[in-house]
Structure 1
Amino acid sequence: MKNLKEIFKNKIFAKLFFANFTSQMGSVIGVTAFMFYLLDRFSDQPIYASITELMYSLPTLAIFLVVGVVADRFDRQKIAYYCDAICVVLSAALIFAIWYGWMPLIFAALFLRSAVQKFFFPAESGIMQGILKKEDYAVSAGLNQMVMSIFMLFGNGLGILAYWLGGIYGALIIDGITFAISALLIKSCTISTEARLPNGKHRMKDLNIKFVMKDFKEGMFYIIKNKLLISLIVGFFVFGVVNGGFSVMPVFILKYKLAPDSYEQLSIILGAAFGIGALIGGVVASTVVQKVKFHHLIVFGIIIAGAFTVLSSFAPNTWSFMALVFLSSFGIPFANIGIGGWMPSIIDPKMMGRVQGWIGPLMMLSQSATLGFIAVSFPKVLTVEMLYWIVGGCMMAVGVFYAIILPKYIKGEKEVTGKAAAVSS
């Protein structure tokens, strides 16, 4: 609790934290409302839901070469600010596209907005690393997990409520307003030059193909030389499979198996069950992270989450399914806090953007491939139960991989707990 109070005394952190919160809130409401809008309008064509998720993941593959380079070479504060500001405009463009009613235009607006958002996280991560002490990384990761848990708990409910009360247009207006609030909070921060521009000033004309490729390769070689870092990043590829599956599986299993007539209402309860599990798991993980090694947290969380994901496919009714979802979500915060608290300690601040520039594409490549596979194979080839087996199995495989490989690379290092948070690369 003391560390929590101390970290919020950092006014820049507090503003960035709430900026991230409002930005995520609007995005969650908009995405959820749009998903149910499509399921209502095209109930016999679940492919549209999968394509929508692809529009949120494919942009990473289109811009992955420049995202990390931009975050490391240009003003990180301005990048984060302009990301939110441009998303306000694109939210309005999406409203127009839906009103016009042409699906290619709708998907194009979603694609562009998602592409802009991809620049936000590497820039914000770099700023956070520059304004926090190493001992605060685990606390920050715990807070981020709490925010994620809150959105898991209330996000679907808020999105559906906004959709019911204001329709898709009302939900997207809320989406745009929250992006605007986030942009204003970021703009109001006074951030040191070292945190904003750790590699010095650069101009847009420097951003040519030769410069980008040079920086991108530097990021690749930096990762390859750090065996501990590359081991963590390998797992992110499989996490993309998990993200892709979970973005559509819960709605699919309710709509097409457990509760076809009441899947919207039950989605709110399901979101609450998942959120409560993640929130409780986050509280427990935030408490023990000061005493337990990061890699133990990661392995425990991934294996628990994967095992209960597989078991949830065998649930005979909605209530037993929700109980299993609750148990699977309990494990996720342990992995998130372990990785989130560990990685900033082993990455040079000057390289944070380029490292994130590799993680994002790897995750999105596997996430996009998973969603594409689901779009063409469900329900013709795969059953919804098989989706849960694939995703849960991938999680347990990564957990076993981490259990074997991580201890080999941390022997001789300082104690890697949230309290120490001082693993050197």
Structure 2
Amino acid sequence: MGTHVIKMPDIGEGIAEVELSQWHVKVGDLVVEDQVLADVMTDKAMVDIPSPVHGKVIALGGQPGEVMAVGSVLISIEVEGAGNLKESAAPAPVKEAPVAPKVEAAVESKPAAADAPRPAAVCQGPMVAREADERPLASPAVRKHALDLGIQLRLVRGSGPAGRVLHEDLEAYLAQGQSNASAPAAAAYVQRNDEEQIQVIGMRRKIAQRMQDATQRAAHFSYVEEIDVTAIEELRAHLNEKHGASRGKLTLLPFLVRALVVALRDFPQMNARYDDEAQVITRLGAVHVGVATQSDVGLMVPVVRHAEARSLWDSAAEISRLANAARNGKASRDELSGSTITLTSLGALGGIVSTPVLNLPEVAIVGVNKIVERPMVVKGQVVIRKMMNLSSSFDHRVVDGMDAALFIQAIRGLLEQPATLFVE
């Protein structure tokens, strides 16, 4: 028997250190070639580290949340033969993703050598018994969902990598009748003294650092305006009825992207990046719209590139594709970087007013609030209209208040008179 030492690989782009986000194995586990061992976090994305060998895990080189240098020992695996104890090799990362590992099994189905060790067989079924103090792998969103449902997470079998519990596993657990239907109601009348400490690591740490950095460096100011979206909602409904079956359904987002593109022709200072160290503003002709997307591990901003060259349906399809990729952990690093202006929306949860934080080094972010029906006075008559607020933030070091207001008013005019979105 020998020892194969796997070192932290060189991810590229001059990165000298990465954060160890999550282990998918523990000491004593049997692993096969190409099985995902760990997730590491760079400045931009999550990267899966695969095993280059079959063997048994005998030592882990770090703890989740630890920042490790490229070339440091990540994990040691006992293997048949001499191993590489004297001459270590690092595996190449196989996947970049903005969120937690993908939900497919981490071990490929290809056969291994007959004498190679194999992982223990995975038991089927939605329920599993764990020790009372054993903490199953699960995202914060899954933990909250389980708490809301009154499910003890340690009893749920996880179908994700390394037994990670997914939303689908909670649904399977409920379908098997294992949950106590009265638990959520009973919980309202039972005193609770439990606590849960969640370490801020991985993507959540990166989000926290970026938000803190943005609020400390940029001089934020927000501007809120209400918009009558009755006409554009009627147009959207008409287009979906006529072309939805053949071209796909349109949400409001592609119309907002189009409004940004048209308004930016007169306000190029909004489609810019500010290098505050070099004191240089770069205005860009290409409109790369970042669309803020919520995932299980936090906020992602996939980028709709060259929105100025896209039709409504092209934008809609790209927004949908990127959002799904981000939520499923399959968006690439390129798809998560390079935006020039950001659009953020919480849909029906959008509230009345928000104060979005800039996505540095951008200088503008447009926030979309929910659509509500309200009585409005139109030509002296009280009528019911569909109203929506835009809550937008700007970097006051670069953008003047008057220009910000005029920019949002331009978007308002385009959305309230939707035909102008398509007049060249």
* TM band (smaller chain): under 0.3
Q: Which has the larger radius of gyration?
A: 2
TM-score, normalisation: structure 1: 0.23
Greater strand fraction, Structure 1 or Structure 2: 2
